[in-house]
Amino acid sequence: MELRHATILFADLRGFTAILGSSAPGTVFEVLNRWFVRMSEIAAAHGGTIDSFIGDAIMVLFDEARRGVACAVDMQIGMGTINRAQREAGLPAMYMGVGINSGEVIYGVLGSALHSARTVIGEEVNLAARIEAFCLRGQVLASEATCALCGEFVETGPPMEVHVKGRRTSVNLREVHGIPSAGKRVPRQEGRRSPRVQVRIPFSYQLLANDMVSQVRAEGAILDLGYRGMLVELGRELGLLEELKLEVDLPLTGYRIDDLYARVVTAWPQFGRYGIEFSSLGEETAGAIRRLVQLLLQGAPSEP
């Protein structure tokens, strides 16, 4: 066992569940293996060491942060080739999130004479896995530690603050846009501006008319939650652009929202479902929503 400084990359598939539930076992195996083979080739080309395959995810180690980030960019570019093969086979497209972190890890052999493997463990490894959970489809997110080691080699977006399970303080991440010196850019695949999580959270609401809040309250349920909006289920029909004032107790956070205003932007009235976009909310409320989404992305249960 020894301490080493390493850059850890986690890449995880999105959209594989749809293939798993609708395809023959042989097709599932072929699709997953095609992805693992291509990602392994890209990792090896950048000097990475494959630590493990974990379900539909891959963990790769690098001795230099720049190699890890360059690998992540090429992995996302490589998804284009994989999805062309998917289309030719009549299968749905797959997407991927990649998270990267750099720091000190414990390197050694785990196991016994029956089975053993060289691997790395430690807080920085756990953080890399958590970072990947925050990714949108086609996105690469890196820790500030990794970005600092890369300097101007990598083009990134502004820092984004996230709450990570097991850490008392928040962590700043940056989205990797590309490698300017290589003329490479990450091909973003997600139109959404924030991650979303499936939930089932009851709430009450009042309609607005002429900037006046109705005194009549009704009940609904949040089905899908993001930083800037949600999918809700209501017991009455609403029209596009109708406005609501919502009150809801957020699980896990102990926070009650009573200053949230939103408008209907999409509607499926036959199913009682509506996409609503936040039009006004306080800074504290926005922070509580982000915190809940981030906790649920990392596997926290939706009920307190």
Confidence tier at 303 by pLDDT (50, 70, 90): very low
pLDDT in tens, 277-295: 999 988 999 999 999 999 9
Which CA distances in Å does 184 have to 178, 248, 252, 274?
A: 5, 44, 40, 39
Distance CA(212)–CA(270), nearest Å, equals 28
Q: Which two tokens stand for residue 222?
A: 């949040």
Tell me whether strands 243-250 and 229-234 are parallel, antiparallel or unpaired. unpaired
Q: What kind of fold does domain 196-297 have according to CATH?
A: Thrombin, subunit H (2.40.10)
3-state secondary structure of 261: strand
pLDDT in tens, 61-105: 999 999 999 999 999 999 999 999 989 988 888 899 999 999 999
Task: Give the pLDDT score at 116.
Answer: 83
Residues linked to residue 115 through DSSP beta bridges, in sequence order: none
CATH of domain 2-185: 3.30.70.1230
Do 278 and 260 meet the contact criterion of CB atoms below 8 Å apart? yes
Do 189 and 137 meet the contact criterion of CB atoms below 8 Å apart? yes
Average pLDDT, the chain: 92
Topology alike, domains 2-185 and 196-297: no
Task: Give the pLDDT score at 302.
Answer: 46
Distance CA(274)–CA(242), nearest Å, equals 11
Confidence tier at 14 by pLDDT (50, 70, 90): confident
Q: Where are the domains of the chain?
A: 2-185, 196-297
Confidence tier at 190 by pLDDT (50, 70, 90): low
Task: Give the pLDDT score at 226.
Answer: 94
Look up residue 75 and give its DSSP letter. Answer: H
